[in-house]
Chain A
Amino acid sequence: MLGALLLTDMAAAAGPRAFITNQGDNSVSVIDLESARITATIQVGSRPAGIAVSGDERRIYVTNPESREVYLLDGIGLKMITRRAVGKGPLGIALKGDGSRVYVADWYEDLVYVLDPVDLSIIARIPVGNSPSGLEVSPDGNWLYVADRDDDRISVVDTGQNRVVARIDVGKRPFGIRAGRDGKRLYVANVGSNDLSVIDLEKREVIATIPVGSTPYGVAVTPDNRRAFVTNQHDNSLSVIDTATLVEIRRMEIGEFPEGVVASPVGGRVYIANWFDNELVVVDSESLEILEHIPTGESPRAFGIFIARGS
């Protein structure tokens, strides 16, 4: 199994790290965010796309839609712990905040798989809508939100019962979704209508639809809930949304084919994976200054929350 590991820096990880799935070279780049560089590369299955990171960074979950597997990586030892065949097209992946459940959306089977976080065994299969894509778990762990991409809808799953209890119509082709840390709102990037649906999670209804750039992919929300960021794939731009006024305050050039996006859990930064440029871009979430371009592996997608939210 040593062949599966390529280690470029033996220093124990001190600061937070980003785990970037490189769909083009079947690897995960482990990036130390303080020094802004790759400190390890881990080989995974075929065409990795989705990513989820446990709060203590010890368990890294990767979906490989091409080889139809989920991989569990050791975030400290930097090697694969186990893997499991899951469905026909596992893509979106999310962790419950307490790490007790892994959710994987299979967009060919229209199911969400519920997996054990330690051995990836299948605990349940939840029928959802068509082509489920982005997933997000509410901060209190009670609800799983699923973007049913080809139904133009969000399914709300009760995580205790493992079944859909509500559906919310959004824009066309919802893909990436993210909730604010206060659990009050869900932001949904609609790749077909080039806009962002903002859902009030208590009322379970859309309270605003904000036009963004062309073919939006992912959404991130700052930990203070004040700003949301949307990656516009074909527009090569990042939409910056003021969540109080629900207005796009800026659309900035960010690099080619921006996709996965995550706000730093401690605030101050937003990280964007540029699929065409093969880099992770670091932006100051207040001033919107571009701070760093960190090279990644080939064709990074980083679809999911690729930085630990904190234990």
Chain B
Amino acid sequence: MKKNITLLFSLFLLFAGLVQAHGPSRQKVVIKEQIAAAPQAVWQVIKNFHDMSWHPAVEKTEGTGGNEIGATRVLTLGGGGKIHEKLEKYNNEKHSLFYRIEKVDVKVLPVTNYSSWLSVAPAADGGSIVTWKGAFYRGYPNNDPPPELSDQAAVDAVTGVYQGGLSNLKKLLEQGS
């Protein structure tokens, strides 16, 4: 185990300089959650770039810029890992925002070149459909990645983030806790 961590760390150091380096295929994850609450009510909970308290994995959000384009935030996850993100698009009327990860250790989230859309749309029955979707490359930019930095590992990790967040969001809005 120690050997693997050392190897990963040295690989991370090696590739830390290759900011734009990435593997051959970009991955796509799209998770939708139907929520029995009006779109405006759902948007109220998720619309603040500096408030990620609706996500159970996020312990703390710090940053500046409000919801202006270019605003940045640092998410601290339970366990101490940090993700640095930047807001790139924001549409209050259309209930959508688009942001990018500027920096993350692949041990925290095994991805590179990650960008993501979070949006709320009306459902036919008066409720909402929240869509969280991301585009990213795996954490290891060269061929033959170790399994924990493979395409599948990246997809699984991001899927976990989206599902964990959206399930909790649904609970918050439907149970009013």
Contact = CB atoms under 8 A, between A and B. Distances in A.
A178 to B, nearest CB: 21
Given A214-B88, A234-B88, A91 B115 contact: no
Contact of B20 (A47, A65, A191): A191
Q: Name the residue in B18, B20, B133 with the highest tally of chain A Cβ atoms < 10 Å from its Cβ.
A: B20
Nearest to A234: B115
B73 interface: no
Interface in B71-96: 88
A66 B24 contact: yes
Contacts of A296: none
B177 interface: no
Contacts of A275: 26, 28, 135
B25 A49 contact: yes
Contacts of B25: 23, 47, 49, 65-66
B143 interface: yes
Contacts of B152: none
Contact of A89 (B24, B28, B88, B135): B24
Given A66-B25, A150-B20, A173-B20, A108 B142 contact: yes
A184 interface: no
B147 to A, nearest CB: 16
Interface residues of A, number: 23
A149 B100 CA distance: 21
Contacts, number: 40
B100 A47 contact: no
Nearest to B100: A234
Interface string B108-128: 000000010000000000000
A257 interface: yes
Contacts of B98: 234
Given A192-B20, A234-B88, A276-B135, A24 B28 contact: yes
A43 interface: no
A49 B21 CA distance: 17
B28 A108 contact: no
B32 to A, nearest CB: 14
B88 A88 contact: no
B122 to A, nearest CB: 20
A108 B88 CA distance: 30
Nearest to A48: B25
Given A88-B143, A108-B143, A234-B115, A257 B135 contact: yes
Interface in B1-57: 18, 20-21, 24-26, 28
Interface string A231-272: 000100000000000000000000001000000000000000
Contacts of A149: 20
Given A108-B143, A276-B135, A299 B26 contact: yes
A173 B135 CA distance: 19
A193 to B, nearest CB: 11
Nearest to A175: B20
A65 B135 CA distance: 18
Given A88-B143, A89-B143, A23 B18 contact: no
Contacts of A66: 24-25
Given A89-B143, A192-B20, A299 B88 contact: no
Contact of B18 (A47, A89, A150): A150
A23 B26 contact: yes
Contacts of B88: 214, 234
Nearest to A24: B28
A244 B20 CA distance: 32
Contacts of B26: 23, 275, 299
Contacts of B20: 149-150, 173, 191-192
25 contacts: A24-B28, A47-B24, A49-B24, A49-B25, A65-B24, A65-B25, A66-B24, A66-B25, A89-B24, A89-B143, A91-B24, A108-B142, A108-B143, A131-B21, A149-B20, A150-B18, A150-B20, A173-B20, A191-B20, A192-B20, A234-B100, A234-B115, A275-B26, A276-B28, A299-B26
6 A-B pairs with the lowest CB-CB distances in the bound complex, closest first? A65-B24, A47-B25, A23-B25, A66-B24, A173-B20, A234-B115
Given A65-B24, A108-B143, A150-B18, 12 more contacts: A23-B26, A24-B28, A49-B24, A49-B25, A65-B25, A89-B24, A191-B20, A234-B100, A257-B135, A275-B135, A276-B133, A299-B26
